[in-house]
Structure 1
Amino acid sequence: MTLRSVVIGCGHSLPERVLTNAELSTMVDTSDEWIIERTGIRRRHIAAKEETTSVLATRAARAALASAGLSGPDIDLIIVATATPDYTFPAVATQVQAALGSHTGAAFDMQAVCSGFVYALTTADKFLAAGAARRALVIGAETFSRILDWTDRTTCVLFGDGAGAVVLEARRGDGELTDRGVLSTHLRADGRHLDKLFVDGGPSATATTGHLRMEGKEVFRHAVTCLAETIEETFRLTGVTADQIDWFVPHQANRRIIDATARKLGIDASRVVVTVEDHGNTSAASIPLALATACADGRIKPGQLVLIEAMGGGFTWGSALIRW
């Protein structure tokens, strides 16, 4: 027998304000057609001043707990993946913990940018599989609108704000691929590529928040190659094949990256969950937002094989195979 981290709840939170491509075209030199052709994005949500990352994270956490039939005190581990915390410290996770009335166990943030949710899920899985925690909240939450240069059309059209969360519970399994829960995780990083996707500020370097900077073509090239390699490793080590994947839920960065990665892996487009059109790139929040969307509309069902992957600044990247 082995302990598996089983997903028992899923939820999300989006800011009320929607920023369309048409509205963006009045702010920078761009157009709806240009953005859709290059990214697949039509709209994104932008947080109001009072909608901080911790506020969005807490809303998503409450929704995930409600779907699991649990409350804050039932959770003994909270991990928030974010690159846009409310404060340098304390961690967003501790703010969520206080808001939920969960006062036992650990709460901390994880920073791997767009890969943050995969990194956080993997970390939570290690806690639960080792018996160090019983139930975990894994949250991806971002307010990237706070770090965008709204005069740079190459970046400001891409990103949005939001949060998503899952509840994991340690349950006994047989150690087989038929078990429900997290079956396989793979994390990677290559710090040589800092200049291709980064924020040009920080407490130690500049004592400022800074703005996001990106070399889009280079990120695209590395993303398709690196993500395909880590997923192919998942297939090789587990024996799972592309046609056995019920749902492929990639990081929602860019429709072209999503399509290219799915083609490279041989995953049919009908089994790819795509929400980038409505949310834009919400960094660490994008995968749990997509999961929550596909669960809510009935696509993802218990027992199905779900493959998630993401790549973020650093570079960091990773994947996880989950039987829902």
Structure 2
Amino acid sequence: MAQSTLYSRVAGTGSYLPPDRVTNQELAERLAKNGIETSDEWIVARTGIHARHFAEPDVPTSELALIASRRAIEAADIDPQSIDLIIVATSTPDYVFPSTACLLQSKLGIKSHGAAFDVQAVCSGFAYALATADSFIRGGQARTALIVGAETFSRILDFNDRTTCVLFGDGAGAVILQASEEPGVLSSALHADGSYANILCTPGNVNGGVVAGSAFLHMDGQAVFKLAVNLLEKVAVEALEKAHLSADQIDWLVPHQANIRIMQGTCRKLHLPQERMIVTVGEHGNTSAASIPLALDVAVRDGRIRRGQNVLIEGVGGGFTWGASVIRY
């Protein structure tokens, strides 16, 4: 008897935002103490962001990931011990090593001893992690995967640079992916071009017990904007073609929540109505690898994304990296 084809499907989602909600006005007051001028109007007009959440200084990335993971596990109604693959997408890990994924495995009390590792593709991290987990499941190396995007970007922001510190926030989103005979992740497309590394980076490292270089995020905003809109359109079209779908067959676009203008530009290029785009950037800011699973969970829980619908996710980030996946939820 021929063996049935194995696919992966989303079984549950979860997310978490730290309780400290920082409005644009509160951030402007903080920057004013450093002699930096900005305003709610200035930030909203350029980014669409009204507020973001910051973790407390003693709360590591793994703690945000833990709460989001528990919520996804509950939504999927599974035994945590059945999880045999954990992938955490993050650029702000707890330690140099071990991986945040290994720390998360321990905090969840998982003893199945499946693989656990981090993925570092910055804001494209969740797209990279999802595609990786899908390949593990399709290849028979795992049956239940926990995929998490988690960040504490507030730790690497320079609050003397209003062009970057107003953009980012902290948070976590998680997805349970399970083996299935029904197609779930229909396609993925991933790319990178390291020649653009300098336009979005945190160019520091630990050397001799101190930070060598800069531990703050640096960004050429205009260069990132120009590159992002073009790359996101191309990778979205590539993923759609691999899934044998057209853009008008997509029920929901869940883009990386970087900047409302980038998101709207991508939507226009795909000829998708703005009403089909999930937007959380106004309240979350840019949470890097956490932004897509955060937005996905919000839309699942409020009933917009329903079973059987086609969802397109896409992200672009430092590296430069970019990726997209088409999911039949």
TM range (shorter): over 0.9
My pick for the range that moved more, 66-75 or 7-16, is 66-75
Q: How does 1:27-106 map to 2 (within 5 A)?
A: 27-28=30-31, 29-103=37-111, 104-106=113-115
1:138 aligned partner = 147
Aligned to 1:163: 172
Hey, what's the Cα distance between the residues in 1 that align with 2:7 and 2:247? 23
Percent same amino acid at aligned positions? Answer: 55
SS in 2 for 1:27: helix
What's the TM-score once normalised by structure 1's chain length? 0.96
Find the aligned partners of 1:270 and 1:70 in 2 and give their Cα distance: 33
| Contact map agreement 2:252 2:312 (CA 8 A) in 1 | yes
- In the other structure, the counterpart of 1:109 is 118
Question: CA offset at residue 74 of structure 1?
Answer: 1.5
User: In structure 1, what is the equivalent of residue 188 of structure 2?
Assistant: 185
Separation of aligned partners in 1, 2:220 and 2:207:
24
- Indicate whether 1:263 and 2:272 are aligned: no
Alpha-carbon deviations, 1:243-287, whole Å to 9, x = none?
A: 110000000000000000000011110100000000000000000
Unpaired stretches in structure 2, ≥5 consecutive residues? 32-36
Residue of structure 2 equivalent to 1:194:
197
Distance in 2 of aligned mates of 1:161 and 1:71: 28
Residue of structure 2 aligned with 1:280, choices 285, 296, 306: 285
CA deviation after TM superposition for structure 1 residue 68, in Å: 0.7
- CA distance in 2 between partners of 1:321 and 1:267 (Å): 15
Q: Does 1:4 align with 2:13?
A: no
Distance 2:119 2:132 in 1: 9
RMSD: 1.2
Normalised by the length of structure 2, the TM-score is 0.95
For residue 176 of structure 1, what is the aligned residue in structure 2? none
The worse-fitting range, judged by mean Cα deviation, of 85-94 and 229-238 is 229-238
SS of the residue aligned with 1:57? helix
Q: How does 1:183-222 map to 2 (within 5 A)?
A: 183-203=186-206, 207-208=210-211, 210-222=215-227
Q: Greater CA deviation, 204-213 or 245-254?
A: 204-213
CA–CA distance in 2 between the matches of 1:250 and 1:68? 23
**Structure 1 unaligned runs (5+)?**
174-178
Q: Is 1:122 aligned to 2:131, yes or no?
A: yes
In the comparison of the two structures, how many residue pairs are matched? 318
Separation (CA, whole Å) in 1 of partners of 2:289 and 2:259: 14
Deviation at 1:71, TM superposition (A): 3.1
Mapped partners of 2:80, 2:99: distance in 1: 17
The one-letter code sitting in structure 1 at the alignment partner of 2:133 is: A
Contact 1:138 1:165 in 2 (8 A): yes
2:255 to 232, 242, 250: 250
C-alpha contact 2:254 2:296 (8 A) present in aligned 1: yes
